[in-house]
Amino acid sequence: MKKIVYLALSHVLLYLALLPFKPAQASAGQIAQHNTSQSTLTYQAFIKQLALSQGKGTFKQAKHFSFLTQPIVSTGSFIVHQESALWQGEQPVFSQLLLTPQAIFRRLNLADTYQKIAQSSDITSVLTTIFTGDINESNWQIEPNISVQNNQQCLAIKPKVDVLKQLFQQVSLCLSLDQENMYQRWIYLTEAKGNKTDIHMSVTATSLSSKEQAALIP
């Protein structure tokens, strides 16, 4: 039964794995993308940037299937508050995934009520550690050296437990500074079957209205 639940959550992991990232004011040590004399972020500094206790923004996701020449692209928005997160797909179809400490919920229409799709402390814990930046080393093998790829600083993690190995070969979490010295965020997922998903997320604000916070209650 657990295996079925875990596999059903593959899309939730794909959608929510990137939520760790937090915008920050650029400091001298963080301008590596624009000033090659600066060193890349240390592992500890990178992990610190992953944590996002509150914020909202937009995303663009490209799903690459081996049998298609063009990726399937979707866009939407997200809200994060403490240990809860709302991932809302808007184009080409509407959907909402709501992650709470107790369970994960889904609905395909605002007029519908949320349907619980999982209640597993194990998998919820995995998701929570990912988007809070507190990566559980018992579940993930972490490459401690930050790599630089295409002006992005990236942290690679690989699954260590069977349930995650069924979903992913590797996950790369990446940060880079844009021309306004604001962090842009990407996640690159290589799935177990070889398909790949690229997600670009942009945090637009770290404050939430009462209505936005209420949206995180199922």
Domain spans of the chain? Answer: 2-214
Say what the alpha-carbon torsion angle 176, 125, 218, 114 is, to the nearest 10 degrees.
Answer: 90
In the chain the beta strands, taken as DSSP E runs, fall at: 54-64, 72-81, 84-91, 95-99, 104-107, 115-118, 140-142, 147-149, 152-159, 168-177, 183-191, 196-205
The pLDDT value recorded for residue 34 is 41
97-123 core/surface letters (b: 16 or more CB in 10 A; e: else): bbbbeebbbbbeeeeeebeebbebeeb
pLDDT tens by residue, 21-52:
333 333 333 333 344 434 578 888 887 777 77
Average pLDDT score over residue span 55-83: 92
The pLDDT value recorded for residue 203 is 84
Cβ(118)–Cβ(103) below 8 Å:
yes
Q: Is the dihedral of CA 49, 55, 57, 61 positive or negative?
A: positive
Picking from 120, 121, 92, 101, the residue whose alpha carbon sits closest to that of residue 8 is 120
Q: Is the dihedral of CA 205, 206, 207, 212 positive or negative?
A: positive
Strand, helix or coil at 174? strand
pLDDT tens by residue, 120-146:
555 555 555 556 566 778 888 888 788
CATH number of 2-214: 2.50.20.10
Kindly indicate the confidence band of residue 8, based on its pLDDT and cuts at 50, 70 and 90: very low
Q: What is the pTM of this model?
A: 0.74
Backbone angles phi, psi at 159, to 5 degrees: -70, 145
Estimate to the nearest angstrom the gap between the alpha carbon of 172 and the chain centroid.
10
